Structure 1
Amino acid sequence: MTATLRPAAERRASIPMRFVSAALRLTPTKRHYTSLEWMRSQYLQRVYPTPAALTRVLRRRCTVEDYEVDGVRTLTLRPRSGASTRHIIYTHGGTYINELVSPHWWIIAALIKATGATVTVPLYRLAPEHTFREAYDYLASVYQLVLRTTRADDVVLAGDSAGGGLAVGQALHLAGLGLPRPGRLILFSPWLDITGTNPNIPQYDRADPMLAVPGAVEAGKWWAGREDPQHQLLSPVFATPAALAKLPPVSIYQGSADICMADAIAFEKLLLDVGHGVEFHQYPGAFHVFVGLPWLPESRAVFKNVRRVA
């Protein structure tokens, strides 16, 4: 089954979405991602960051296991009531260089509320100190640990931004290892091409209040290490048709005011070309990872849909 679910052309962003987008334009984030000098000064000689603390809401709603897999901190949150058989492995975004922040916990809380799923959060090691090779070995270990208690069909790989790209990469990597295929991919504003070469990016860059290509590409190079940035585990838009055909069903939730839109559209086309099951939900005027604010009307619509597919 394939479905491209695009809102009617006359629909506009909600008033809250437009308000937050205007506020984001007043922050320095986009300017920072435009400046390679700023990026290098901030990240190449830094103190390695610490993830945001778990919220009180999640501690109240879930039992929390905090442990290590392959020496890397990992958390599993299990709903105290209303639990389903689903188990979501959620990889956070941050252009592979930034730690998990509070809005990621808000996304995870919304996922648990919508689905009743147990959620495992792998705190994979970040660039520039580390590269993708370390992350994939670790994530494969996390997946195999989850499979001890959960059927593969009940496992969902999910993530936002870079974490969305990492979720796709995980599925490709797991297939390469001959491990059972997870049940679904859920991708929020996924970053699917670290090269930044899609010719359609500029039309979205003008509307994007947060991101810019130069800084993102620089972060991608750090994450790649010495590998080709077009490697399918770094940029899934370059995966072969045979590899794409092995992916589980995919759900993409993407805003139009986001430079990642261009590659999400390209990825959808690649999946459709191989006859793959994909749902692509587009939200006019929505900024990058808008689901990090779960109270937005568009975000509520996303999690309502996630309840159906997951």
Structure 2
Amino acid sequence: MTSRYAAGPGTVEPSVKDGSRAMRVACSLIGLLPTKRNLNGTEWVNAKYPGRTYPPTAAISWTLKQTHTIQETRIDGVRTITVRPLLGATRSHIIYTHGGIYINELGRPHWWIIAELTRRTGAAVTVPLYRLAPESTYRDAFPYLVSVYREVLRTAEPEDVTLMGDSAGGGLAIAQPWAFSDAGLPSPGRIVAFSPWLDVTGTNPEIPKYDAVDPMLSVAGGVQAGLWWAGGDDPRTPLVSPACAPEQMLATVPPTRIYQGTRDVCMADATVFRDRAVAAGADVTMTVYPGGFHVFPAFPRLPESREVYADIAAFLGRPALP
């Protein structure tokens, strides 16, 4: 059994010694990649992203195609994919918004997450390929996400819909019900977020201690991406930074489960969001995995990830797999 706990108010001290052996090995391997070493400062985002060729989405794996039906549509002119398991389908419908600090397309690990979700829950999964920054902003994304939800509600009851996402997509999952309410649509049944990015300003004073042990992410480039996503609006607006939402909005958050590791710069703001939402009366639980890196459930074979997916299946009312 791996070490985890439903964190109470306050912060958690990160350590490179925490987590299962497999988690520690994975963190070490991630740390060998040039990713974090090359992402300090903002030069990399300013050099790479403005004026770029728009990135492609990772191809759907052959295995997923063999075990699911794949439906591709255009909603508000944006490519939208729904996968449904051929066997063991349930009434559950997940809308999964991928991460990538709002500037990167859906990648291969996102398909690994989606495949595991369908295997564990039997849910159909709709994947909105929202337009990215710096070419687009949150003002473009949310009307599209409202249209996606409206389309899902043609065949699913609101209580059977779960909004899910990782990192930036986790922030989108948490913020979407506020946009749905403004559009006169009912609230979805629940939210699940992996390592959600909940305040793009990067101003939380607790961030540096997580940054010191995070093998993957750094802060400055993410803040620049968040400013592009805000498109000139206040980056603390709730649809961009849900942790900054006022109490009356936080009180309306549907039942929410957050899965977070301590070796992740997003831990600081996830804690703030959880504490503020609970204080406002919302049902928000954050399960913390000591030593977990950013969006570690993208690697489903980790012992900690197996626990996460079992917990999600229970949250969606699906019996545990043998």
TM-score of the aligned structures, taking structure 1 as reference length:
0.96
| 8 Å Cα contact 1:84-1:116 kept in structure 2 | yes
Which string of whole-angstrom CA distances, capped at 9 and with x for unpartnered residues, describes residues 113-151 of structure 1? 111000000000000111111110100000000001100
| 8 Å Cα contact 1:63-1:78 kept in structure 2 | yes
| 8 Å Cα contact 2:259-2:308 kept in structure 1 | yes
Quick one: distance in 2 between partners of 1:247 and 1:13? 30
The 5 Å alignment of 1:77-96 reads: 77-96=83-102
How many residues align? The count is 307
Quick one: distance in 1 between partners of 2:178 and 2:104? 23
Instruction: Give 5+ residue unaligned stretches, structure 2.
Output: 317-322
The 5 Å alignment of 1:53-72 reads: 53-72=59-78
Residue in structure 2 matched with residue 180 of structure 1 by the alignment: 186
| 8 Å Cα contact 2:253-2:283 kept in structure 1 | no
Amino acid at match of 2:177: A
The 5 Å alignment of 1:38-57 reads: 38-57=44-63
Quick one: distance in 2 between partners of 1:91 and 1:246? 20
Q: CA RMSD in A?
A: 1.6
Q: Which runs of 4+ in 1 moved over 6 A?
A: 7-11
Quick one: distance in 1 between partners of 2:95 and 2:84? 12
Amino acid at match of 1:176: D
Quick one: distance in 2 between partners of 1:176 and 1:196? 28
Quick one: distance in 2 between partners of 1:35 and 1:203? 17
| 8 Å Cα contact 1:92-1:104 kept in structure 2 | yes
- Structure 1, 138-147 or 36-45: larger mean CA deviation: 36-45
| 8 Å Cα contact 2:201-2:236 kept in structure 1 | yes
Secondary structure of residue in 1 paired with 2:38: helix
Amino acid at match of 2:124: T
Residue in structure 2 matched with residue 5 of structure 1 by the alignment: 6
Quick one: distance in 1 between partners of 2:223 and 2:104? 14
Quick one: distance in 2 between partners of 1:200 and 1:172? 27
Is residue 118 of structure 1 aligned with residue 119 of structure 2? no
- Structure 1, 6-15 or 16-25: larger mean CA deviation: 6-15
The 5 Å alignment of 1:225-236 reads: 225-236=231-242
Residue in structure 2 matched with residue 283 of structure 1 by the alignment: 289
Which string of whole-angstrom CA distances, capped at 9 and with x for unpartnered residues, describes residues 190-235 of structure 1? 0000000111101111110111110100010111111110000000
Quick one: distance in 2 between partners of 1:268 and 1:208? 21
TM-score of the aligned structures, taking structure 2 as reference length:
0.93
Residue in structure 2 matched with residue 158 of structure 1 by the alignment: 164
1:136 equivalent among 142, 149, 152: 142
Amino acid at match of 2:253: L
| 8 Å Cα contact 1:29-1:210 kept in structure 2 | yes
Quick one: distance in 1 between partners of 2:18 and 2:41? 31
Instruction: Give 5+ residue unaligned stretches, structure 1.
Output: none
1:221 equivalent among 202, 216, 227: 227
| 8 Å Cα contact 2:18-2:24 kept in structure 1 | no
Quick one: distance in 2 between partners of 1:184 and 1:144? 16
